[in-house]
A and B are shown apart, each in its own frame.
Chain A
């Protein structure tokens, strides 16, 4: 495997891989295979992009302290998923991305999905959950300067990530059930999921605003004190 030295290019690839590969593979599914293989292609792509990301992480040297902090945040996030209805999961992922960088955000999102699904049910949706939570964390890392500015950008990002999660998961629901993408069914799926989407958005905003300051300052302090990240 090729290791790319330039960090900007590496970061670019990290963003581009999931964003470009998914539409590309879906297009391949349409034009090369018969029109029934969307579900298969999308599953392969979701898995692939998570695996690629982890492979990139595996290649580089990472300080033990950074790994331990990521493990701590994964554990906190998984514990948070047990809170009924208003869950701090996405808020914790976003805070990780903001203060520890996009890569840590992605890892916490992906790992929290794997581990918590042991309690909440594994299934073919696990790779999609890993990918969408991971992407939310990754994006939070790239937007960290903006998100740290005040409560309004953070609240907007909380709403966005709730909607984003629902939208990605509903694409999979429709593909899995219907084999091909169907706009009517997608809208229906979004409609039935609407109460949950609202609940996700509300809990994301609420927890982000509550936890951003106290937890963020703790993360900042610890990274400064031990020269991590």
Chain B
């Protein structure tokens, strides 16, 4: 539990989608560098004390994506070396690694997002947009563990009857398929029972009201404002052209002009928001505890 998960889910969604969105659509090396470290920092702050098993895979993806570009793109004026008459250029290499930074940082933003956005929060957000869709999502989410459990029961029952065999691969497949089809039949009937029960309790007879433990408080409004101001600033600076950086045929574009520096400052501030809120909450917790 971090301080961030206490905010309204809509605030969390706005924050992560805008941070990832800016990284996705602004190809500026400095900005992406900031985004890369920001995403890692936020992800590891949210998952403090947990092991990240897939980091090796993402490192590999980063290298692969970075090296892929110069193999396919040969424009660019600074030739590093030539392979099979195909020049490998500095520009293509730089573009490749900038793109790879973007892809990996967006993936990490989404991983951080998934850590915070538990399914009940997602249902809250979807429920605001589409109540029926959200209802079906919540039903499906409840069915998954139910079906997994029922599948085990069916297999156990079939085993007891001597109908479930795992001697070789075809037997295993056949037995599992039979059990799965049985699960299908049972779950469809179960769905109808659920629907009857819902109708008996008055579903569809009027407007539905939702229980939700999330309300939009004053602190959520402040958080949205604090998030959106730098986002809008960065978008404005991007539209003014200060963040433009051209890779081909020659890398050009001033990375450190006045507008760009403002954009980097805003974006860095945006990265710091969850970290500041987390640190503040920890400090508060410590100071409260010491009084006890």
A interface vs B, CB < 8 Å? 36-37, 39-40, 54-55, 57-58, 61-65, 67-72, 74-76, 78-79, 107, 111, 114-115, 118, 121-124, 176-179, 182, 184-185, 188, 210-211, 214-215, 218-219, 222, 226
Known: A68-B195, A185-B72, A214-B181. 19 other contacts (CB 8 A): A36-B27, A39-B25, A40-B25, A69-B191, A72-B188, A75-B141, A75-B147, A76-B183, A79-B144, A107-B133, A107-B136, A115-B144, A121-B111, A122-B110, A123-B107, A176-B24, A177-B99, A184-B72, A219-B188
Q: Would you list 12 pairs from A and B whose C-beta atoms are within 8 A, ordered by A residue?
A: A40-B24, A54-B130, A57-B132, A64-B196, A65-B191, A71-B191, A74-B143, A107-B133, A111-B140, A115-B141, A121-B107, A188-B72
Chain A contacts of B195 at CB under 8 A? 63-65, 67-69
Q: Nearest Cβ distance between residue B25 and chain A, in whole angstroms?
A: 5
Is B52 interfacial (CB-CB < 8 Å)? no
B interface vs A, CB < 8 Å? 20, 24-25, 27, 65, 68-69, 72-73, 99, 103, 106-107, 110-111, 113-114, 119, 130-133, 135-137, 139-141, 143-144, 146-148, 151, 177, 180-181, 183-185, 187-192, 194-196, 198-199, 203-204
Our pick among A65, A67, A72, A184 for the contact of B143 (Cβ within 8 Å) is: A72
Our pick among B65, B131, B185, B188 for the contact of A69 (Cβ within 8 Å) is: B188
Measured CB to CB, the nearest residue on chain B to A185 is B72
A71 to B143, CA, bound (A): 8
Chain B contacts of A71 at CB under 8 A? 136-137, 139-140, 143, 191
Please tell me if the beta carbons of B184 and A218 are within 8 angstroms of each other in the complex.
yes
Q: Nearest Cβ distance between residue B43 and chain A, in whole angstroms?
A: 13
Please tell me if the beta carbons of A121 and B114 are within 8 angstroms of each other in the complex.
yes
Measured CB to CB, the nearest residue on chain A to B20 is A124
Chain B contacts of A215 at CB under 8 A? 181, 184
A225 to B289, CA, bound (A): 62
Our pick among B65, B103, B177, B187 for the contact of A75 (Cβ within 8 Å) is: B187
Measured CB to CB, the nearest residue on chain B to A213 is B181
Q: Nearest Cβ distance between residue B246 and chain A, in whole angstroms?
A: 11
Q: Nearest Cβ distance between residue A198 and chain B, in whole angstroms?
A: 19
Q: Nearest Cβ distance between residue B73 and chain A, in whole angstroms?
A: 8
Please tell me if the beta carbons of A121 and B110 are within 8 angstroms of each other in the complex.
yes
Q: Nearest Cβ distance between residue B253 and chain A, in whole angstroms?
A: 13
A82 to B131, CA, bound (A): 28
Our pick among A63, A122, A182, A214 for the contact of B114 (Cβ within 8 Å) is: A122
Please tell me if the beta carbons of B203 and A64 are within 8 angstroms of each other in the complex.
yes
Chain B contacts of A79 at CB under 8 A? 144, 147-148, 151
Chain B contacts of A182 at CB under 8 A? 72-73
Q: A54-B130, A75-B144 are in contact. Are A115 and B198 (CB under 8 A)?
A: no
Please tell me if the beta carbons of A68 and B192 are within 8 angstroms of each other in the complex.
yes
Chain A contacts of B204 at CB under 8 A? 61, 64
Chain A contacts of B141 at CB under 8 A? 75, 115
Q: Which of the listed residues B106, B133, B135 has the most CB atoms from chain A within 10 Å of its own CB?
A: B133
Q: A184-B72, A211-B181 are in contact. Are A58 and B130 (CB under 8 A)?
A: yes
Q: Which of the listed residues A64, A74, A219 has the most CB atoms from chain B within 10 Å of its own CB?
A: A64
Please tell me if the beta carbons of B144 and A68 are within 8 angstroms of each other in the complex.
no
Please tell me if the beta carbons of A78 and B140 are within 8 angstroms of each other in the complex.
yes
Chain B contacts of A176 at CB under 8 A? 24, 103
Q: A40-B25, A211-B181, A218-B185 are in contact. Are A68 and B198 (CB under 8 A)?
A: yes
